[in-house]
Structure 1
Amino acid sequence: MTAGLGIVFALLCLLGVVMGFRDAPNSVALPVRFRALTPRLALVMAALLNGIGVVLGMGLITLSVSFFTPHVMSGVVGHITVATAVLVAVAWGLLLWWRRIPGSTAHALLAALAGAHLAAHLELGHELEPVVMDRVGWEVAVGLLLSPLLAWGLARVLTPPLVRLGTTGSTVNVQHRARIALAVSGGATAVGHGVQGGQRLGLLWAICLMGAGVPPGAPAASWVFGLSAAVFALAMAVGTLGGAWRIAWTLTERLVALDPLRAAVAAAVPAGLLFVGSLVLHLPLSSTHTLTAGIVGAGQTQTYASVRWPQVLRVVAWWLLTPLACLGAALLLGLALLLLV
């Protein structure tokens, strides 16, 4: 049991590194593109704020987790389920990075959890818990459909008045205000992304601790959980320093041609939505989906055709493929691992 917990913990740390690496452009791409921050300063800032966000996110949840029941996630089966989901999410995230596609690691992880749970049901006859499948389906739908539409709509509505307000004064002052807004929005996005990442990592780790028989309210559990928060924060910070500039290039150059003021609005929208998703709606909103939709929405307010729709549709196609591919991959991998064990 201890060995299983150690393996799951190491995989969760790996997931934290990949989440930081893959999603670093969400907070640094636009500020660096418009010279609000230097690349090195932007990455250091994002790494620090991501780490702080992870600690805050894990502090917002408790060990009284009802997402999965202890029956579903207990013992070796629970460890295999979580490990399978993490491996699939990591592999999918790296594939999208190689393809220069801004995608959601969170929704890949959720779909993989559903696939691994389905594998346990098919291989071992475990009861298929509706709370797992329904919750995953709802949250993936919100992340894939509602949150990008909301971010796109907010960017479309807010960009024209904010641009009019921001263009008062000299050109130097306009550029200065836009860069300040980009730097602040990038920092807020980094914190929000860290909060969301901390909630995901903390939730999975708390479930594994409960499945291993650790009492939720025990002092030892609180100590282990607190120490784990520091390790996960460090893992995500280290991953963030990698930068993933391949995806940053897609966000800043291949989707839409933006000016600094519109870029500032596009960066502010996901920052606000991430905090609303974490603190109010308790939903795993994707910083990647909301930022990409915000960039497209802000770009559509320009007088010339700035949106490169073939590239946008290519990104959306990968978004739609993510839950299906990750669920199927986790189902096959879960069946294989459970058969071996």
Structure 2
Amino acid sequence: MEPALIGLIIIVALALIFDFINGFHDTANAIATSVATRVLTPAQAIAMSAVMNVVGALTGTAVAKTVSEDIVSQQYATLELVGAALLSAIGWNLFTWWKGLPSSSSHALIFSLVGAGVAAGGWGIIIPKGVQKTLTGLLTSPVLGFMIPILLMFLLSWLVLRWMRPRTVTRTFRWAQILSAAFMAFSHGGNDAQKTMGIITFALSAYFGTQMQTVPLWVILAAATAMGMGTAIGGWRIIKTMGFKVVDLKPVDGFVAETSAALIIETASRLGIPVSTTHTISTAIMGVGTTKGFKKVKWQVAGKIVSAWVFTIPTCIALGWVIHKIILAIGV
């Protein structure tokens, strides 16, 4: 078997490992609130999330095309570049999972790709349009994630909640939150699994020496399956941080946070914008918390989450750069 083909197989395996890790790292995105409100048991929530992640991953490829075509120029695509990006993103994901920090797997991958690209050919091979699109999603999705739940909660309170007894509110939104959690898992699969599809397609372009015009079906199915399997394992450390340590949640709070975040993520997916599902649901939970009063949100924990967001971009650019240099130096 030729060395280049062996390299491609290794890259695909690394990409699916990243997707698997992304699945259990980001399980909390879809189910933390439903577990915290006791609407679902952890086992029920994880099983539902795994299924809906797979379904969501099969619904489009707009984000995948952004990753494969709009971050690093295809003419500079090499297996070493893709491998460095994946190793960097996997390392950062595992570190933040170990620390229980809900950082962005999406931005870890994309900015690791930027770092490896810079190492391979300098800043000139980085496509500003794609990076700008990613940064736009990075900045706007948390802002919208914070604001929309506040507006939705006030709207619900004015139209519905003030006419209902507390017990009726809880009973009604226990059922509604199951649907919102499923929607959140669906949107997560639709955005996050596509990054892996994109990176594998980028690797295929490097191997064949020509730009892939579409994402192959086997890549879509493999990425969807890997994310679903990772989600089934679950990431309890991050679930505890997001579901229990930021704000005390009730079923109506969980419904509002999940519905708001899922709408933002689903819209971004259709526009081909890689957003952080973690950033979006985290700020949505904070937004819901502020409707109860600023003191109800544990801002110290929220600050640690924001710190992880801030460090992801420079850390992953640096890691991608260093790992690419190491790969070239040892002649892998």
Asked if the contact 1:19/1:239 (under 8 Å) is kept, the reply is yes
How many Å separate the matches in 1 of 2:13 and 2:291?
45
1:256 shift after superposition:
1.5
**Structure 1: which 5+ residue stretches go unaligned?**
none
| Identity among equivalent pairs (%) | 28
- Matched to 1:178, the amino acid is F
- Matched to 2:100, the amino acid is R
Question: Which moved further from structure 2: 305-314 or 111-120?
Answer: 305-314
Q: Is it true that 1:162 corresponds to 2:156 in the alignment?
A: yes
Q: Is it true that 1:9 corresponds to 2:5 in the alignment?
A: no
How many Å separate the matches in 1 of 2:11 and 2:294?
50
Asked if the contact 1:27/1:186 (under 8 Å) is kept, the reply is yes
How many Å separate the matches in 2 of 1:199 and 1:145?
20
How many Å separate the matches in 2 of 1:287 and 1:301?
22
Aligned partner of 2:51 in structure 1 is: 48
Equivalent positions of 1:194-205 (< 5 A) are 194-205=189-200
- Matched to 2:254, the amino acid is A
Q: Is it true that 1:278 corresponds to 2:269 in the alignment?
A: yes
Deviations 1:27-82 (A, max 9, x none): 11111221222221211111111112222234886699532433110xxxx11111
Aligned partner of 1:335 in structure 2 is: 325
Could you say what secondary structure the match of 1:96 adopts?
helix
Deviations 1:90-136 (A, max 9, x none): 111111111111110000111100100011126xxxx82241x5522
Equivalent positions of 1:138-287 (< 5 A) are 138-164=132-158, 165-213=160-208, 225-279=216-270, 281-287=271-277
Could you say what secondary structure the match of 1:183 adopts?
helix
How many Å separate the matches in 1 of 2:76 and 2:313?
21
Deviations 1:249-293 (A, max 9, x none): 1112211123321222111111101110001x3211111101111
Number of residue equivalences: 326
Two-structure CA RMSD over aligned residues (Å): 2.3
Deviations 1:7-36 (A, max 9, x none): 111001101101100001111111122122
Alignment equivalent of 1:325, drawn from 292, 298, 315: 315
Alignment equivalent of 2:75, drawn from 71, 74, 90: 71
Asked if the contact 1:107/1:143 (under 8 Å) is kept, the reply is no
Asked if the contact 2:63/2:269 (under 8 Å) is kept, the reply is no
- Matched to 1:340, the amino acid is I
- Matched to 1:257, the amino acid is D
TM-score (norm 2): 0.91
Residues 1:217 and 1:6: Cα distance change in structure 2 (over 3 Å): closer
How many Å separate the matches in 1 of 2:265 and 2:108?
18
How many Å separate the matches in 2 of 1:63 and 1:94?
25
Deviations 1:207-231 (A, max 9, x none): 221222276679xx87xx2123222
Residues 1:116 and 1:35: Cα distance change in structure 2 (over 3 Å): same
Question: Which moved further from structure 2: 314-323 or 164-173?
Answer: 164-173
Asked if the contact 2:118/2:126 (under 8 Å) is kept, the reply is no
**Structure 2: which 5+ residue stretches go unaligned?**
none
Equivalent positions of 1:26-105 (< 5 A) are 26-58=29-61, 66-67=69-70, 68-73=72-77, 78-105=78-105
How many Å separate the matches in 2 of 1:321 and 1:66?
25
Residues 1:22 and 1:217: Cα distance change in structure 2 (over 3 Å): closer
Residues 1:231 and 1:303: Cα distance change in structure 2 (over 3 Å): closer
How many Å separate the matches in 2 of 1:310 and 1:63?
35
- Matched to 2:156, the amino acid is L
